Amino acid sequence: MSACPIAPSRLPAILTACVFLLHVTFPAVSAAYVLNTVVADMRLPASLAGSTACPQTTRANLSIAGGIRRQWSTSLGANPVTVLTVDQTSSGRLNEIENTIVQAFGVWTGVAGSALVPSSLAPLARTSAQTSCAADGLNTICLNQSDPAFSTGVLAFTRVVTADALGEQAAPGMPPAAFLGQILDADILIRPSDGTINFATPAALAVHPAAYDLQSILTHEMGHMLGAGHSDVWRAMMFPFVPPAGTFLGSRPTLASPDAPLSEDDRAALRQLYPDPRDTVHQGSISGRVLPANPLALAGTGTTGVFAAHVVAMDAVTGMVIAASISGWSCSDPGPAIFDGTYRIAGLTTGITQAYQLYAEPLDGPVAPGDVFESTVLCRNTLTDPGWPAQFACNTPSPVTDFSTGFRFGP
């Protein structure tokens, strides 16, 4: 992976998330969404890196004048055709694809309780350049750009550049980072023509049942563009595997339900990234630690709690998964993170009659630890970054994928 230098010998942090071809055909238990994080570069002065090595959530800056910049490349695969449309005219194809992109963005700006609204986004622009997905500060969707990341089974991926120091830029002339973890650039690449994979717009999907739904994939990748990681909730839009060819995940958006394809888990993630200060509904939280039933199970691991357990909050009446979190770490300034099994599920609906049930499970399939997070976003040390200050160094332990648990509630 590469990015444009923003200063001599410095690069912003880069994270790539993919959606895979494989779709699992057996039921899966629900688990947790993940919010991507970044650790500030503590080798820099405090005026640039701040004063804490605690992981910072990555998210877009909604205060940028004009909104989040976004564009898409009108370069399309033609031999063979990659994106199938109903309208076969040149301008009609572009308009049909663009409408699909607009609808996918609209899903994420239609979540109640989130500050991400339609006006948070700049108008969707077009570019004719085939290789326009680059670390240039413009969030771009490319449908015909090759990349080594397209290994076997990868249908699409999003490359996200985030700031690990204040003032960083994705490219000269772009707005500097106003906070740690700010997303400076995010590009979505859809697998280009290879003769084996096709994508279809919603209008064309019915007559092309062997194609993958373009809107499903775009909606998933836009979640990454906004700072969300993968989820192991079977119903979640951020589940790392696509629905079968010819199908769409959930219901199509409507004027009455603009975020229809999202699960409650997806909505909870977005509210955590972009909370609406006027929201009085989703103010509840549950926190505690996940500990092994047998304390000796963690002997010699350097941890005091289970790392990477899925903690899920279900509505006690309906059994619906409302929100979830991955346990394992906590952090207090000045850091670094400690791995004590801490979890916190926030953004829950409150009320006298509202009650939740919790359960925890390991990441033991079909989603594995590597599908939902990268351990390097929690810890940095002299091995990852030469010259890293010892007082801010830590090592992320290996996820525990075989455990029985007990709960301890509390802060």
224, 214 contact by CB (below 8 A): no
Q: In 239-377, which ranges are E strands?
A: 284-292, 309-315, 321-326, 342-348, 356-362
| Per-residue model confidence (pLDDT) at position 22 | 36
CA angle 218/22/240 to nearest 5° reads: 50
| Per-residue model confidence (pLDDT) at position 404 | 66
Neighbours of 21 (CB within 10 A): 17
69, 75 contact by CB (below 8 A): no
48, 167 contact by CB (below 8 A): yes
Residue 98 neighbours by CB under 8 Å, 6+ apart: 72, 124, 126
Is the CA virtual torsion 299, 303, 306, 310 positive or negative?
negative
Question: Among all chains, which residue has been given the structure tokens 């204040």?
Answer: 166
| Per-residue model confidence (pLDDT) at position 18 | 53
Question: Among all chains, which residue has been given the structure tokens 């075989």?
Answer: 402
| Per-residue model confidence (pLDDT) at position 6 | 24
- Report CA-CA distances (Å) from 158 to 1, 18, 375: 12, 6, 18
Sheet holding 309-315, edge to edge: 321-326, 309-315, 356-362
Stated as kind and residue range, the H or E segment containing 100 is helix 90-108
Residue 398 neighbours by CB under 8 Å, 6+ apart: 301, 307
Indicate the DSSP class of residue 146. Answer: -
Residue 253 neighbours by CB under 8 Å, 6+ apart: 103, 106, 107, 110, 259, 260, 261
Residue 145 neighbours by CB under 8 Å, 6+ apart: 73, 75, 130, 131, 132, 133, 189, 192
Which residues lie across from 57 on neighbouring strands?
37
- Is the peptide bond prior to 27 cis by the omega test (within 30 degrees of 0)? no
Residue 194 neighbours by CB under 8 Å, 6+ apart: none
Task: Give the whole-angstrom CA distance, residue 54 versus residue 37.
Answer: 9
Phi-psi region of 105 (alpha: psi -120 to 50; beta: other; left: phi over 0): alpha
Q: 3-class SS at 214?
A: helix
- In b/e form, how buried is each residue of 102-124, taking b as 16+ CB within 10 angstroms? ebbbbbbbbbebbbbeeebbbee
Residue 355 token pair: 């009650």
| Per-residue model confidence (pLDDT) at position 373 | 66
> Over its length of 411 residues, how does the chain's per-residue pLDDT go in tens digits?
222 222 222 445 555 555 544 333 222 222 334 578 899 999 999 999 999 999 999 999 999 999 999 999 999 988 888 999 999 999 999 999 999 999 999 999 999 999 999 999 999 999 999 999 999 999 999 999 999 988 878 899 999 999 999 999 999 999 999 999 999 999 999 999 888 889 999 999 999 999 999 999 999 999 999 999 888 777 889 988 888 899 998 889 988 899 999 998 899 899 999 999 999 998 888 899 988 877 777 776 778 888 888 888 888 999 888 888 888 899 999 999 999 999 988 888 888 888 999 888 887 777 777 776 665 689 999 999 999 999 999 999 888 877 765 555 544
Task: Give the whole-angstrom CA distance, residue 286 versus residue 293.
Answer: 20
| Per-residue model confidence (pLDDT) at position 3 | 28
Indicate the DSSP class of residue 242. Answer: P
| Per-residue model confidence (pLDDT) at position 11 | 44
Q: CB-hemisphere CA count at 13 Å for 308?
A: 23
Phi-psi region of 347 (alpha: psi -120 to 50; beta: other; left: phi over 0): left
- Reported pTM: 0.88
Task: Give the whole-angstrom CA distance, residue 402 versus residue 394.
Answer: 23
Indicate the DSSP class of residue 171. Answer: S
